[in-house]
Each structure stands twice: as C-alpha cells, then as structure tokens.
C-alpha cells in the first residue's frame, strides 16, 4: 500500500525562497523520507497557489539580507535530494524559475503544466546563476543547460520536456495525478528502493569503470544483507 507525502513550497510572491522557507522545506522533506517514516513510499513536491517556485528572494537580499545565508541554505536544501531513500517527484503547477528550476532538476520525476516556464533567468538581469546551474547541468547536460542558462530565457514546458528537465506536460488538473501514478509505480521495489535510489545518484558521479566496480560490490552486498 502506498502512502504519499504532499509537500508545498510556500513563500512570499511566487513562492520565493529565503533561509526560513528553505530550512522548513528541508525539514519537511527529511521528515517525509522513509528513514524517518517507514510508512511513506513517495514524496510529492509542489508549489502553493499557481506558482511552483520563483527562486531566491532577491528583493530581500537587495534590502540588506545576507546573501551568503541565502546561498548556504539553498546548497543545504539541494544536497539532501540525492541522499533520500524515498522517491520524490515534482508537480510543477506553475513557473519554476531560477532556484525553483534547480529543485525540479533534483527531483526524480517531474510533470509540468503547459504554461509553466522552467529554467534560470539570471543572465538576463546581469547575474550568473552560480548555484542554480549545478542541478540543471547534472540533469540535462551542458548543451541543453547552456541553451537556458547562457541566454537567461527559461524553457517553455514543452521544451523542458524535450530536453529532459520534466518528464511530461499535462493539463493543470492532471499534473498531480500523473505524479502520484509515477510515485505509486516507483514504490513497487519496496525496501530495495532505499539503497537503489541512493546508488543511482552516487554511481552517476563516478567514472564508468569505477561505477561498474562499485555496482559489483553493491550487488554482492544486497545478497549478503538478505542472506
């Protein structure tokens, strides 16, 4: 039986991120992870209202907030996604720009509404998205990532699907059901998902030969652990 935790990104304006919002989001995700609650089989992440996430609250930084505190909170949040033992999927109910696009990129699966824009825009205002670029490059590769990052023009939802930033585009009423269906399918692996999901991301960071060697060791460990 599946039990899916639904978490909303909720901030000022188009769900802008500040250290408090990011800290609360990080805690909610970790609390929903199967390591903390074994009954949860999937995490659905979406935005409050009609936006997914507009990125960092730049107005607050310009008003005197510490930019390093914002950046540190963002890095801390983005780091937790590959370590989760539970599949996590994004229901992109509206624009996911700047760091919001990074959050989509670090989810396992994503579905967007047809009118959503996804990607960074910072270059268009004279800033390089130093942190936001990292998950996007890792998810879709340098060629497609630079198409967005280098121009400051977010992808349309359909282009985001074409380059692999989202898996599907659905009408608004069908976005969350599509994500739930995937999370239910992803839960079929049971306990194997916890180790397998982490290994998926860890092996992806290794060279080809090192990944094969590590996969051999992990394969053997699976059978020793169940013996």
For the chain, the distance separating the N- and C-terminal CA atoms, rounded to the nearest angstrom, is: 26
Count other C-beta atoms under 10 Å from residue 189's C-beta. 14
Give the H or E element holding residue 136.
helix 133-140
Tell me the average pLDDT across 46-51: 97
Question: Is 80 exceeded by the pLDDT of residue 1?
Answer: no
Q: Are 89 and 45 in contact (CB under 8 A)?
A: yes
Model pTM score? 0.94
- Over residues 56-85, the pLDDT tens digits come to 999 999 999 999 999 999 999 999 999 999
- Over residues 88-136, the pLDDT tens digits come to 999 999 999 999 999 999 999 999 999 999 999 999 999 999 999 999 9
Count other C-beta atoms under 10 Å from residue 47's C-beta. 25
DSSP letters along 9-58, please? Answer: E--HHHH-B-HHHHHHHHHHHHHHSTTT-TT--EEEEEESTT-SB--B-H
Domains by residue range for the chain, with CATH: 4-186 (3.90.226.10), 191-226 (no CATH)
Give the H or E element holding residue 169.
strand 168-169
- Over residues 199-225, the pLDDT tens digits come to 999 999 999 999 999 999 988 888 876
The pLDDT, as a whole number, for residue 225 is 64
Count other C-beta atoms under 10 Å from residue 186's C-beta. 19
The pLDDT, as a whole number, for residue 226 is 58
């Amino acid at each position: 039986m599946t039990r899916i935790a639904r978490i909303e990104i909720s901030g000022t304006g188009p769900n802008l991120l500040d250290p408090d919002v990011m800290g609360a989001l990080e805690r909610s995700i970790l609390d929903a992870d199967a390591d903390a609650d074994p009954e949860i089989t999937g995490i659905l992440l979406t935005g409050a209202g009609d936006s997914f996430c507009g990125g960092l609250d730049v107005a607050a930084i310009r008003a005197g907030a510490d930019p390093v505190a914002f950046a540190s909170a963002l890095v801390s949040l983005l780091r937790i996604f590959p370590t989760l033992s539970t599949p996590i999927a994004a229901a992109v109910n509206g624009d996911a720009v700047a760091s919001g696009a990074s959050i989509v990129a670090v989810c396992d699966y994503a579905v967007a509404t047809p009118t959503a824009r996804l990607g960074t825009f910072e270059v268009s205002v004279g800033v390089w998205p130093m942190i936001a670029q990292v998950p996007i490059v890792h998810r879709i590769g340098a060629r497609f990532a630079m198409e967005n990052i280098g121009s400051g023009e977010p992808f349309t939802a359909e282009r985001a699907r074409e380059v692999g930033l989202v898996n599907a585009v659905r009408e608004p009423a069908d976005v969350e059901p599509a994500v739930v269906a995937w999370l239910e399918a992803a839960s079929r692996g049971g306990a194997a998902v916890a180790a397998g999901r982490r290994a998926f991301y860890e092996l992806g960071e290794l060279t080809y030969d090192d990944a094969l060697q590590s996969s051999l060791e992990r394969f053997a460990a699976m059978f020793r652990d169940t013996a």
